[in-house]
């Protein structure tokens, strides 16, 4: 904690901006300020890493597929729409 | 430091490239892969249609679950969405990406079905619960007063050598994440699915949901934090049991 300047961003500020930081959506100066805070705060680095990890893991959650009967109906509808033999 | 953070840091000096990329996405709307897939679909390639369904079905089901009562109804809504996609495919002009177009149809149908199920009052309750003035992270984790107000009291503990792959290899961690996503109000769920699962560009998400980018990031971060919190609870519980 001793590395933080009291007048700088707080950990709370940084956690609030973690998603915008990761998505590169912060204005330049805000990004620099968050980056400086992260360089000196291992707790916020941990937090940002965890948000990043969760965001990546969500992308790879197990896939869901249509029920077999629904898939068959869709294939038939697609073939009918395109004038393909059923 | 993980790759995404490194990318963000590196891109500080490359912001023009980012804005050019955003513009090109907006102007052509379809990426090369999607363009090829669309051409195959329009030719009546059944394999292409299977590919399209496999690509987006999970996200559509998870998103529909934010609006309707249960998985069964969500399956029906998504089935209706695919039927509408088949019917209107020839009229799709590529003004948006195929993915955005399909998600737009789903949101419309799911909202409609939710209203018909008389769950409208429940949605209002959920939306008010997702009060944008609420904090994303539990305020009690930070000091509330003094020189160090706003700094951690209960900081997150490192997840050791966790990677997305390792996390996903644990069925219990996957269940914890799925439960957390299922419990999200529709407003948070739709942004998480569109942005993180489907990878839709932030501007496109805003257009689709008619929200501002500020609003998008408030919702997106709140959703990510709830999933992170679920994983943290699961990992801490596992540690205590050991």
Angle at B56 between CA B30 and CA B37, to 5 degrees: 40
Using only C-alpha atoms, chain A has a radius of gyration, in whole angstroms, of 23
Q: Rounded distance, CA A66 to CA A76, Å?
A: 14
Q: What is the pLDDT of residues B164-195, one digit of tens each?
A: 888 888 898 899 999 999 899 989 999 999 99
Q: Which residues of B touch A55 (CB under 8 A)?
A: 4, 196, 224
Average pLDDT over residues A59-82: 92
Q: Which residue of A has its CA nearest to B144?
A: A12
Of B2, B57, B137, the CB nearest to A15: B137
C-alpha neighbours within 13 Å on the C-beta side of residue B41: 22
Quick one: pLDDT band at residue B15, thresholds 50, 70, 90?
very low
Strand partners, B152: B142
Q: Which residues of B touch A22 (CB under 8 A)?
A: 4-5, 8
The reply to whether A75 falls in a domain is: yes
Q: Which residue of A has its CA nearest to B8?
A: A24
- CATH number assigned to the domain with residue range B138-241, chosen from the 4 options 2.60.40.10, 3.40.640.10, 3.40.50.300, 1.10.10.10: 1.10.10.10
Q: How far is B81 from chain A (nearest CA, A)?
A: 11
The domains of chain B are located at 24-124, 138-241
Enter the ipTM.
Answer: 0.85
Q: Which residue of A has its CA nearest to B138?
A: A12
The CATH number given to whatever domain includes residue A38 is 1.10.10
The reply to whether A3 falls in a domain is: no
- Tell me what pLDDT residue B242 has: 65
Do residue B224 and residue A55 have CB atoms under 8 angstroms apart? yes
> What is the CATH code for B24-124?
1.10.1740.10
The domain tally of chain A equals 1
Of residues B106 and B127, more confidence is placed in B106
Do residue B151 and residue A11 have CB atoms under 8 angstroms apart? yes
The reply to whether A19 falls in a domain is: yes
Residue B80 CA, chain-centre distance (Å), reads: 21
Q: Which residues of A touch B220 (CB under 8 A)?
A: 19, 23
Quick one: pLDDT band at residue B7, thresholds 50, 70, 90?
very low
Q: Which residue of B has its CA nearest to A24?
A: B8
- Tell me what pLDDT residue B29 has: 59
Overall pTM > 0.90? no
Q: Which residues of B touch A20 (CB under 8 A)?
A: 217, 221
* Residue B72, H or E segment: helix B71-88
- Tell me what pLDDT residue B2 has: 40
The reply to whether A5 falls in a domain is: no
Q: Which residues of B touch A5 (CB under 8 A)?
A: none
Whether A60 shows a pLDDT value over 60: the answer reads: yes
Cα maximum dimension of chain B: 68
Average pLDDT, chain B: 81
Angle at A51 between CA A50 and CA A52, to 5 degrees: 90
């Amino acid at each position: 904690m001793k590395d933080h300047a009291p007048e700088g961003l707080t950990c709370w500020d940084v956690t609030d901006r973690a998603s915008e930081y990761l998505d590169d959506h912060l204005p330049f100066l805000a990004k620099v300020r968050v980056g400086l805070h992260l360089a000196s705060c291992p707790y916020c680095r941990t937090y940002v890493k965890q948000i990043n990890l969760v965001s990546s893991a969500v992308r790879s959650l197990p896939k869901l597929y249509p029920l077999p009967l629904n898939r068959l109906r869709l294939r038939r509808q697609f073939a009918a729409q395109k004038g393909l033999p059923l | 430091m993980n790759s995404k953070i490194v990318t963000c840091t590196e891109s500080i000096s490359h912001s023009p490239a980012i804005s050019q990329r955003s513009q090109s996405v907006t102007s052509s709307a379809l990426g090369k892969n999607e363009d090829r897939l669309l051409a195959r679909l329009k030719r009546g390639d059944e394999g292409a249609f299977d590919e399209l369904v496999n690509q987006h079905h999970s996200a559509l089901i998870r998103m529909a679950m934010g609006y309707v009562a249960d998985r069964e109804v969500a399956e029906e809504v998504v089935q209706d969405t695919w039927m509408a996609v088949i019917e209107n495919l020839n009229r799709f002009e590529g003004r948006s990406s195929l993915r955005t177009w399909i998600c737009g149809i789903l949101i419309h149908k799911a909202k409609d079905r939710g209203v018909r199920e008389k769950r409208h009052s429940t949605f209002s309750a959920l939306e008010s619960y997702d009060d944008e003035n609420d904090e994303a992270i539990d305020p009690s984790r930070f000091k509330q007063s003094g020189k160090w107000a706003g700094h951690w009291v209960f900081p997150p503990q490192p997840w050791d050598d966790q990677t997305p792959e390792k996390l996903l290899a644990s069925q219990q961690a996957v269940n914890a994440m799925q439960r957390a996503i299922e419990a999200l109000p529709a407003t948070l769920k739709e942004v998480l699915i569109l942005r993180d699962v489907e990878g839709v560009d932030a501007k496109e998400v805003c257009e689709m949901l008619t929200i501002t980018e500020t609003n998008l990031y408030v919702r997106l971060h709140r959703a990510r934090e709830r999933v992170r919190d679920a994983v943290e609870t699961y990992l801490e519980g596992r540690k205590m049991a050991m």
